[in-house]
């Protein structure tokens, strides 16, 4: 009589580790995606890029708080955001959550820096300039509305 013990312990551990890795990677991935355009106030031209969400514009920062060529952080509806102002009439907004492991990314002029593992993103378009981040920061639609910078969430 032979006893079939089923899969070996090593096989079970390997399958469990692979499943766990997939779960961790899914948890780090930013939620929501779609398409949209970055809007600008004052007749400026926005850039076309995916938008992380769509909905109602929310006031995030006073326009005076973000100098031309600089970036700043803010929050709207519980979401951490980064805002960049490349010129007088244009603003860009991105999620402040690193696409590597979910750390909060900080504004640094024309770049965004992740303090956890050193990823660097372009404040112009959210692309990765230096890894380990695997993907760009999700972009939101941003606009100048009077004295305010608004972001559509």
Render 109-131 in DSSP notation, one character per residue: TTEEE-TTT--EEETTT--EEES
**Average of per-residue pLDDT across 3-8:** 49
**Model-wide pTM > 0.75:** no
Rg (CA), the chain: 20
> pLDDT band at 124, cuts 50/70/90?
very high
Per-chain mean pLDDT for the chain: 75
* pLDDT tens, residue by residue, 42-101: 333 333 333 445 588 999 999 999 999 999 999 999 999 999 999 999 999 999 999 999
In the chain, what are the domains?
Answer: 36-152 (2.102.10.10)
């Amino acid at each position: 009589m032979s006893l079939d013990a089923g899969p070996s312990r090593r096989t079970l551990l390997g399958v469990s580790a692979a499943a766990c890795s997939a779960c961790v990677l899914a948890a780090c991935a930013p939620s929501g995606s779609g398409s949209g355009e970055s809007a600008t106030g004052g007749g400026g031209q926005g850039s076309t890029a995916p938008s992380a969400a769509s909905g109602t514009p929310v006031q995030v920062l006073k326009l005076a708080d973000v100098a031309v060529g600089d970036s700043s952080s803010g929050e709207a509806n519980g979401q951490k955001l980064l805002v960049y102002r490349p010129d007088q009439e244009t603003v860009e907004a991105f999620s402040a959550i690193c696409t590597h492991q979910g750390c909060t990314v900080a504004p640094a002029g024309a770049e965004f820096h992740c303090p956890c593992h050193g990823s660097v993103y372009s404040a112009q378009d959210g692309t990765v300039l230096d890894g380990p981040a695997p993907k760009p920061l999700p972009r939101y639609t941003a606009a100048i509305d009077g004295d305010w910078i608004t972001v559509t969430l």
